Amino acid sequence: MNYGSAQVFTNELAIPPTLTGPNFTLTVNDTTHEFYTGVPSTTYGYSGMGYLGPTLIFTSGETVNFNLTNNTAGTNVTVHWHGFHLPAKWDGGPGNPIAPNGGTWFPSFEVMQNASTMWYHSHIHGLTAVQVGRGMAGLIIINDGVESSLDLPRTYGTDDIPIILQDKEFENNSLRDGVSE
Ligand SMILES: [Cu+2]
């Protein structure tokens, strides 16, 4: 049986840290990240991370509250709760921009979903692909009583592994922006 050729990997699988609610404070920052050792790429990260953001842990039925700050030097961002059932004013779509250089946004909503893996990301008109590709995204894990009663592996980062897949284009080992939205 052919299992394919052996590949050599150089980067350890990154496991984002977790934040547990119901109150969350997140900043988004201009930063850099070395996808290839020794070659920093211009990226975005949340709350001190060089790329992407922490995994947020929600409990179904609770109200979650956010203190969000845009510390980038020159770009509007949003924080969109992908796929969530919530009031439009807290959706974080293109109509809810947060200004750069310290602009803030304080959404608050009830978690109406059952147990699931969700995600958040910037959703600025015309720049969503660039901002998400450079790091403005993170996971959300929603727990509920049904899921927690099941006999499943649930030690985050050990046997419950968060995986984020993104396509990437590099030039001289430095990240290039995608061209699509
Ligand atoms: Cu989305």
Name the 3-class secondary structure at 133: helix
The pLDDT tens digits of the residues spanning 98-107 come to 999 999 999 9
Residue reference for tokens 């992407």:
52
Give the distance (Å) from ligand 1 centre to CA of residue 46. Answer: 17
Give the distance (Å) from ligand 1 centre to CA of residue 81. Answer: 7
Give the distance (Å) from ligand 1 centre to CA of residue 37. Answer: 30
For the entire predicted model, the pTM comes to: 0.93
Average pLDDT over the chain reads 94
CATH of domain 18-146+155-172: 2.60.40.420
Confidence tier at 180 by pLDDT (50, 70, 90): very low
Give the distance (Å) from ligand 1 centre to CA of residue 90. Answer: 14
Cα distances (Å, whole numbers) of residue 132 to 21, 22, 119, 145, 178: 23, 25, 11, 32, 10
Cα distances (Å, whole numbers) of residue 21 to 120, 123, 132, 173: 15, 23, 23, 37
Q: Which residues of 87-126 are buried (b: 16+ CB within 10 A; e: fewer)?
A: eeebbbebebbbebeeeebebebebebebeebbbbbbbee
Residue 9 pLDDT more than 90? no
Give the distance (Å) from ligand 1 centre to CA of residue 178. Answer: 17
The pLDDT tens digits of the residues spanning 105-118 come to 999 999 999 999 99
The pLDDT tens digits of the residues spanning 28-83 come to 999 999 999 999 999 999 999 999 999 999 999 999 999 999 999 999 999 999 99
Break the chain into its structural domains and give their ranges: 18-146+155-172
Residues with CB under 5 A from ligand 1 (ion): 82
Q: At 131, phi and psi to the nearest 5?
A: -65, -45
The pLDDT tens digits of the residues spanning 124-166 come to 999 999 999 999 999 999 999 999 999 999 999 999 999 999 9
